[in-house]
Amino acid sequence: MEHTQFEAQYFDGLTSQAQIVEVRFHVQQKLLYLKFEDQKIEQWSFEAIQVQEGPKHLELRNGSTAAAFLRIEVSQKQKNELVKVLAKNNLHFQFMQLGLFKVLFVAGLLFFGLIAAYFWGLPPLAERAVSFLPTTVDDHIGDSFFSTMVPAESIDQKRSKALNAFAAELQLYNKRPLHLNVVRSDEVNAFAMPNGEIVVYTGLLDQLETPAQLVALIGHEVSHINERHSMKLLSRNLAGYMIISLLIGDVSGVAAVLTDNAQQVHQLSYARAHEQQADELGLQILLENHQDPKAMLQLFKKLKATGVEAIPELLSSHPLPNSRIQHINALILKRKALIVPNPDLEMWFERLKK
């Protein structure tokens, strides 16, 4: 069917009076031509035509002029043929022909597709978007978080000075200035902030037995800063804001949103991939500073002793000590280590322990 011609009633949507028009379907051009009594010609694209079937007629509407419609009296055979032609070129009509079950099924697929895109598509994009942000954003967030979460009176100034001197003896490959803080607390923990601040609680520091264990701890936290892990995690949590703001080129808007949500940093746990990367880079720092790589395993065992392993691994937001120990141990077995005593590290470590 290349060309099909009918007479039809044309209702303009303004009056109840119908006009008789000559309708011609041109399949190759995918156009419907309307020729009026005054010789005026209109073209309707097959893609824009909406179809409603009656017992012995078709009603056609142009999507761009929905008030007007055509009524064509046709036989069942002609109706089937025209519907088939229009359906090939009209997604809206195809969708309407699916039936209730199929429509609900397609709608469900679209719904779950959007959910999947939000949870599994947007977060990785938002994480990659961090590379477009200047490090001044990291500074704003780190400064805001540090001032609210670490009271000045909780910092042991003497031990902090010794800890910074210890770190100054190391090749850490840090991408920004570092400042280490010893905070008085029984909590066995340490964490890094995006602005280069590292906090080590005395509850963990007092458990360390060798300089190499402290190097392992510092190397791990510095790696989180170098790789901007906290920024990436915060961006994942604010994925919608990040993507929209970056698409419209509003970098300052992104910075404002991230800064306003800086308090979330304390509530977030690093993703498994982030923890593993920090472990691997921390091990590399140990090796390049000629410290015993097994100190990383010793550090993990101390953390394991705090009871973290009681949480099922699949429910944890980061690898538990057991899996981290196994991964790092496998890497150690593949690498050669040159261990060289460092009197300066030992001196500063002794001062830290006093």
229-237 vs 239-247: helix crossing angle, rounded to 10: 90
Please state the rounded mean pLDDT for residues 328-336.
92
In tens, the pLDDT along 133-144 reads 788 888 888 888
Closest C-alpha among 291, 289, 286, 235 to residue 258: 235
Distances (CA, A) of 347 to 167, 198, 341: 12, 21, 11
Q: What confidence score (pLDDT) does residue 97 get?
A: 55
**How many CB atoms sit inside 10 A of residue 266's CB?**
12
Distances (CA, A) of 331 to 28, 62, 284: 65, 67, 10
CA angle 21/24/29 to nearest 5° reads 140
pLDDT band at 279 (very low <50, low <70, confident <90, very high): very high
Walk me through the domains of the chain, giving residue ranges and CATH numbers.
3-96 (2.30.29.30), 125-353 (no CATH)
pLDDT score of 91 more than 70: no
Please state the rounded mean pLDDT for residues 292-312.
75
The alpha-helical segments, DSSP class H, found in 120-271 are 122-129, 135-149, 157-168, 202-205, 211-226, 229-237, 239-247, 251-260
Q: What confidence score (pLDDT) does residue 122 get?
A: 67
pLDDT band at 42 (very low <50, low <70, confident <90, very high): confident
Question: Is the whole model's pTM more than 0.75, yes or no?
Answer: no
Helix (H, G, I), strand (E, B) or coil at 34: strand
The whole-angstrom separation of Cα 8 and Cα 27 is 18
Locate tokens 């590379």: which residue?
A: 131
Q: What confidence score (pLDDT) does residue 73 get?
A: 87
> What phi, psi does 32 have (nearest 5°)?
-110, 125
DSSP 249-297: T-HHHHHHHHHHTGGGGGG----HHHHHHHHHHHHHHHHHTT--THHHH
In tens, the pLDDT along 137-190 reads 888 888 887 888 888 899 999 999 999 999 999 999 998 999 999 999 998 889
